[in-house]
Structure 1
Amino acid sequence: MNELMKDVLVRGTAWDGKLRVFAVRTTQLVEELRRRHATYPTTTAALGRTLTAGAMMGAMLKGEEKLIIQVKGDGPVGQIVVDANAKGQVRGYVDNPQVQLPSNALGKLDVAGAVGRNGFIYVTKDLGLKESYIGSVPIVSGELGEDFTYYFAVSEQTNTAVGLGVLVEEDNSVIQAGGYIIQLLPGITDADITRLEQALAGMPALTSLLAQGETPESILIRLVGEDGLKIHDTMDIEFHCPCSSERMERNLISLGATELQQIIEEDGKAEVVCHFCNEAYTFERDKLEELLDQAKPKPIH
């Protein structure tokens, strides 16, 4: 993979600090999760848009902070879950990966039909405090870009423009994926807002810009102009899942001795699959018996 095509996020400010801006390419990330979960195109677009929003929202955090996004609509894909952190590491899954719907009236993938137009988006942030911060908003369109725009306005009281795009090839693979977030900060004027609205209205499709070789930075320049843009930093975005055999062993032990005994007697082995990365871990009888010993209550002397 050449350097140009790496998944990368840029963040900065514009117009003398009156805008906070993020843009990201997530093509490799979305393709990795499409491959792992064998998603069909409509589902790929729904999961990919949520992953892209998650990557940018993760970049708003600091240090060891992380967040989980849950999109719980009434559409056939079921729940979409994305986990992201401040280091550019993202993972995710969808309840029903093999959902494919006919194109919508605009000839595009029917993401709203797959997600559903009723339900909620939940964002849980682990900021290292005793309790996590949880924000939730109703789904307003199911297209997800508008839904995250609404989330920022209501839950974080920040007027925000969110653009999310995923372009899928006929063989199901991901051609392009990416997005931007533009947030209005104190000091913004009506004239500034009009200028931004005009730039957003005149924007070609995000995925077609990426397909033409545009970068996250050049997409931001299209929106806010080169003069007014200050890029603060750039970070790589990557798929990362911290699951491991040891972690799955702990999950099995937590089931308790009775349930482990039942698995040993009925199946003789266990297969545990990670929701997020679809990696399967198999435990044979001898390993299960070892875990059963650890799960049994210890006598108190």
Structure 2
Amino acid sequence: MPRVQQGVRVLGPADLPEVLALLERDPVTNVFVDYRVRLTRLEPRWLGGEVWGWYDDGVLAAVCHAAANLVPAAAGPEALAAFADRAARAPRSSSTVVGPRPMVEELWRVLGPAWGTPRDERWEQPHLELTGPPAVEPDPLVRRSESADIAALYPACVAMYTEEVGISPEADGGRELYRARVTQLVNRGWSFARYDGDRVVFKAEVAAASPYACQVQGVYVDPSRRGEGLAAGGMAAVVEIARREIAPTVSLYVNGHNAPARRAYERAGFAQTSTFSTLMF
């Protein structure tokens, strides 16, 4: 596809090396887009959407993942305005807008009037990283989930999602799709949990990974076991396995108001490096 001097175009497989080089300038912050780009090789049929590139004087200077999640990366105000203008030309197809807060704010300033009011706005989400060993002893009972665990794991995943997002992932006929996602993470070796018989008392998943970093999501402690310190030890176990077998840096972002989770992550050794924001529809 011809290179543009200034503006936005849809990226394809031939652009992969240039896109990866751009994302690798900040590989932890950009891990989600990096993961999606590597996984799909920028093939639209695998993306379920598009990746847009912003060119400044003929050089790729920013990208935006435009699929179920609208996620800008390495983008300044001019690129964000261009991405927002492109997104506003069509009906909304993304269920979330997520990324570093300054980027989401600038994107939404232009895009908001076209897409309307989000169902939920989470502007203050500390982005945390851990590059070294965890600061507390890993919980030895936390392990990778296996196929035989899915019957016990799936209800915990539904409970976590419903508590975190505010709606059930099974709503509107979504049960099969969500169960397939849980199974996919288990089969990939990205699901970790502590099991008490047929009940999950702690769980977390790796949602995205690159050679440089992985991003954790879905952290959950059974309500009847909260306050026992399971999250800090559980996260330490996840970090230990993930850093050894998936990627050298573990990251996540957490709702700013979730004080117990933030304390647990701090105890495990995570430190804030930036702030993310998420808009949900």
TM-score class normalised by the smaller sequence: under 0.3
Higher-Rg structure is 1
Q: TM-score, normalised by structure 2?
A: 0.24
Q: Per residue, is there more helix in 1 or in 2? A: 2
With structure 1 as the length reference, what TM-score do the two structures score? Answer: 0.22
